Structure 1
Amino acid sequence: MNTTPSTTTAVVAHGVDDVRVEQIAVRPPCPGEAVVAVAYGGICGSDLHYWRHGAVGESVLRAPMVLGHEVVGTVLRAAADGTGPAAGTHVTVHPARHEHSDVRFPDDRPNLSPGIRYLGSAARFPHTEGAFAAEVVLPATMLRALPAETDLRVAALAEPAAVAWHAVAHAGNLHGKRVLVVGCGPIGALAVAAARRAGAAEIVAVDLHGKPLDIASAVGATQTLRATDTEAIAAVDADVVIESSGNHRGLASAISGATRGGTVVMVGLLPNGDQPVPIAQAITRELRLVGSFRFNDEIDEVIAAISDGSLPIGPIVTHTFPVGDALEALAVASDASISGKVLLSFLDAAESRAESR
């Protein structure tokens, strides 16, 4: 029996301030593709940018595009060629697909290849459709099986947790170290949790708002500071700083809060163009400034850590909305003073489609 529906409910960005929940066609899968019934999708900053600005940096919407790349669900129809998880398997998704590029990059760091296509990205045209849909067709190579007992709401954090895990790994051995995390949105909070698991002795979390600091404390921060308290931040004297705010003031705080000879990992993506940063201080203190972009196979380690309980990140999920309320969910996710990670639930939409078939 063909279990691929002809249409499905999806969240589609059409332009600036124009995101719609609508029915879209579901194409038949190729032999190496599976059909996944999506349970939950986490709203990322990139989704918010496509909603508010119709673009993420230089990636500009030129046609309607399904949003979303942080998803979990169940395999509805396994790949016909026998690859990937079997039907009925709970899965999360590695949203990157690698294509050939003539541009040089390290063989062991494919995340740096310009040939990557990422789900829900307008970096190329035609755009790479995202996975905010009740049923979605995906390459089997993107799917990662989850242990049956794994909470899917928490597993929806696997992709952003892999981003944070990748960033924390750039800092090296954290055992017994003092860590400063600047910016405690979902990525920053996940970095706190990853640093705690890596053995950091102290973790100081910084943010403008109280809600993110409360979340950071719940997942492992030993101290919290307001971003406006620049003197206290400078006094932290951290061995390692994770900068996840994505603005130049946060990077300035990261540099000031690092100890001499320390490491600053920059995972927050600053806007394009020149940024006013106190780089002289980084030079005279011999700081190591390290960029961190997306991830490679760390998502497999994250899945294992979520499943065995050693990465307790449940408190980072603060809201869950049915897909029909996607606009309200986007608005809540855009307000860092009231939310952490906001999820969309596609469960009701999938059940409705199943009843109609």
Structure 2
Amino acid sequence: MLGCVIHGENDLRVDELPAPSPGPGQALVAVRYGGVCGSDLHYWRHGGVGDFRLREPMVLGHEIVGAVVSYGDGSSGPVPGTAVAVHPATPCGVCPECADGRRNVCRDTRYLGSAARMPHVQGGFAAQVTVPAEQLRALPAGLPLRRAALAEPLSVALHAVRRAGSVAGRHVLVTGAGPIGCLVVAAAKAAGAVRVTVTDLLPEALSYAVSAGADSALRADSSGDPGWPSEVDVAIEASGVAAGLDTCLRLVRRGGVVVQLGMLPPGQSPFAGNLVVSREIELRGAFRFDGEFDAALALLGGEGRFDALISAVVPLGDAQSAFALAADRSRSCKVLLDFGA
């Protein structure tokens, strides 16, 4: 079978891989669509994401949907042929974080397509994959597979909004209108935000944010122009650059909450720490998700407007083109690889 494998910086290949068979507790899934994530792009362009560096070839991908093929011994789940999404995380279940109900920051988790540990956890960008059967989620009735491929990044967005606390009736700022930023916009509106302002440098990205429900879309380099809020209640940084965090800290109200969601470059990043002190701003991190995956599938099932965020579906054989398109934010929002073409 074929899979999308990263061998090193700028070395992305479609390789022949051995067909897997499910072991005890596992399910075999025929993958149909896989969303190209920002972390996949970082592995491709930089050989790593954040502090996680590539040390061996790795199948990429953790945003996958498909159909159940079969089960290994002692495992069960949705009947073969059922359309499913795959939760990409396997927490250890025994560390202090898992015991505290924070499985998304498990210190010994396994996450599809991640170089955080060695050997790396191989990802889901292959024609067939084996995963723990408990990670399968049958799709809600009427939810198309393509839209369901947004479940993983929408879960990230839902977790970030929950980390902010209640946003009902609040004005929320989102810096960065990439796929995650746009989904944060949708998540904030779904959670009752009365107004969502989003900033980015690219007009094309801002148009996607409007499709996701943004009330105001502003160029990040036009802060002196009319239309910029004097302050916001909550700010969620989704660009992964220090300038975005600076904007959040300067615009959030005194005593407000800033959530850092975007993965900043490795090493130290400067930020306006004195504002955190003098304004008693609460700065919180948001990493991945846990139970939000089921909430994401439910939300996707009732919201057709998410389809506008899927800008292209590209056959696996053209993976290089798909990654180049996904990296060009002036031409795309979310790009899916098609493993069934």
TM-score by shorter chain over 0.5: yes
- Are the aligned partners of 2:20 and 2:128 in contact in 1 as well (CA < 8 Å)? no
Equivalent residue for 1:75, pick from 68, 87, 93: 68
Shift of 1:99: 2.4
1:210 aligns with 2:203: yes
What is the aligned partner in structure 2 of residue 63 from structure 1?
A: 56
Q: 1:318 aligns with which of 311, 321, 324?
A: 311
Residue aligned with 1:74, SS: strand
What letter is aligned with 2:274?
A
Contact 1:234-1:257 at 8 Å conserved across structures: no
Distance in 2 separating the partners of 1:237 and 1:58: 33
Structure 2 CA distance, aligned partners of 1:236 and 1:323? 46
2:277 and 2:305 map into 1 onto residues whose CA distance is: 37
2:267 aligned with 1:269: no
- The offset of 1:128, in angstroms, is 0.6
Distance 1:61 1:164 in 2: 25
Q: 1:39 aligns with which of 25, 29, 32?
A: 32
Offset, 1:106: 5.7
| CA offset digits 1:190-231 (Å, max 9, x no partner) | 000011111111111100101111011011101111010233
Q: Does 1:235 align with 2:229?
A: yes
State the alpha-carbon separation in 1 of the partners of residues 17 and 83 from structure 2. Answer: 24
Deviation at 1:102, TM superposition (A): 5.4
- SS at structure 1 position matched to 2:314: strand
What pairs with 1:188-203 in structure 2 (closer than 5 Å)? 188-203=181-196
Task: Name the amino acid aligned to 1:241.
Answer: A
Offset of residue 147 of structure 1? 2.4
Distance 1:24 1:62 in 2: 19
TM-fit CA distance, 1:183: 0.4
Residue-by-residue CA offset, 1:146-169 (whole Å, 9 max, x unaligned): 024211111100001000000001
Contact 2:50 2:264 in 1 (8 A): no
Q: Answer yes or no: is the 8 Å Cα contact 1:74–1:87 preserved in 2.
A: yes
1:254 equivalenced with 2:233 (yes/no): no
Unaligned stretches of 5+ residues in structure 1: 1-7, 349-357
Contact 1:204 1:221 in 2 (8 A): yes
Matched, 1:128 2:121: yes
C-alpha distance in 2 between matches for 1:10 and 1:104 = 33
SS at match of 2:250: helix
RMSD over aligned Cα atoms:
1.7
CA contact (8 A) 2:93 2:103 kept: no
CA contact (8 A) 1:94 1:142 kept: yes
Q: Distance in 2 between matches of 1:213 and 1:236?
A: 20
**In the aligned structure 1, how far is the partner of 2:86 from the partner of 2:193?**
29
Paired residue for 2:287, among 293, 298, 309?
293
Q: How does 1:134-149 map to 2 (within 5 A)?
A: 134-149=127-142
Q: TM-score, normalised by structure 2?
A: 0.95
TM-score, length basis structure 1: 0.91
In 1, the alpha carbon distance for the partners of 2:137 and 2:98 equals: 25
Measure the CA separation in 2 of the matches of 1:276 and 1:61: 26
How far did 1:100 drift? 6.1
In structure 1, the residue corresponding to 2:224 is in which secondary structure? helix
Report the more deviating stretch, 278-287 or 10-19: 278-287
Structure 2: stretches of 5+ with no match in the other structure: none
How many residues are paired up? 340
Query: Which secondary structure does the structure 2 equivalent of 1:19 belong to?
Result: strand
Which of 114, 127, 145 is 1:152 aligned to? 145
The alpha carbon displacement at 1:282 in A equals 2.4
How many percent of aligned residue pairs carry the same amino acid?
A: 47
Checking the alignment, whether the CA contact within 8 Å between 2:175 and 2:199 is kept in structure 1 is yes
